[in-house]
């Protein structure tokens, strides 16, 4: 309806005393996170490692910061490796000949819910880049296709 429903701001950190989410909006609060929680990049790496082994379901606790509810169970359904293509799209040579998988992520907010709160489907390449996303939030659905890709160069390391 052309207005922001809610705003969640803050950060998460992992330290010697455990992991926690620190929220600054909508109201300040600190929430402990499970010891085995993964953050989004760690989750992507775990999914890719599992994908290289075999098709499977990978359930893990993930904190992505989208809500104030803390970590949530994310089931990743990983397909068999997809046929390699010479170049999926001419504009994306980094995908040429790379392995990829169809991944379906189901996000469960808590309790014993049988149905996920949201789902995200994607074709994920071994370099961590998705060619497309299909995001289902229950009330609405978004399809996103990659139309521009600019890869960053290798970082320059300097000794001080």
Predicted local confidence at residue 64, as pLDDT: 86
Question: How many whole angstroms from its chain centre is CA 35?
Answer: 19
How would you classify the pairing of strands 130-136 and 141-145? antiparallel
Mean pLDDT, 10 residues at a time, the chain of 160 residues: 74 86 88 90 94 87 82 92 70 79 90 86 92 93 89 75
Per-residue HEC secondary structure of the chain comes to CCCCCCCCEEEEEEECCEEEEEEEECCCEEEEECCCCECHHHHHHHHHHHHHHCCEEEEEEECCCCCCCCCEEEEEEECCCCCCCCCCCCCCHHHCCCCEEEEEEEEECCCCCCCCCEEEEEEEECCCCEEEEEEECCCCEEEEECCCCCCCCCCCCCCC
Predicted local confidence at residue 7, as pLDDT: 81
């Amino acid at each position: 309806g052309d207005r922001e429903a809610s705003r969640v701001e803050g950060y998460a950190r992992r330290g010697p005393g455990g992991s926690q989410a620190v929220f600054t909006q909508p109201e300040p609060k600190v929430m402990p996170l499970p010891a085995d929680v993964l953050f989004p990049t760690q989750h992507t790496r775990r999914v890719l490692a599992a994908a290289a082994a075999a098709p499977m379901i990978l359930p893990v606790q993930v904190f992505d910061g989208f809500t104030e509810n803390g970590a949530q169970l994310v089931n990743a359904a990983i397909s068999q490796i997809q046929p390699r293509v010479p170049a999926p799209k001419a504009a994306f040579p980094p995908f040429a000949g790379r392995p990829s998988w169809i991944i379906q992520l189901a996000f469960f907010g808590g309790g014993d819910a049988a149905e996920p709160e949201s789902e995200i489907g994607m074709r994920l390449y071994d370099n961590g880049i998705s060619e497309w996303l299909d995001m289902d939030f229950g009330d609405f659905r978004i399809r996103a296709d990659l139309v521009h890709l600019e890869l960053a160069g290798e970082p320059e390391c300097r000794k001080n």
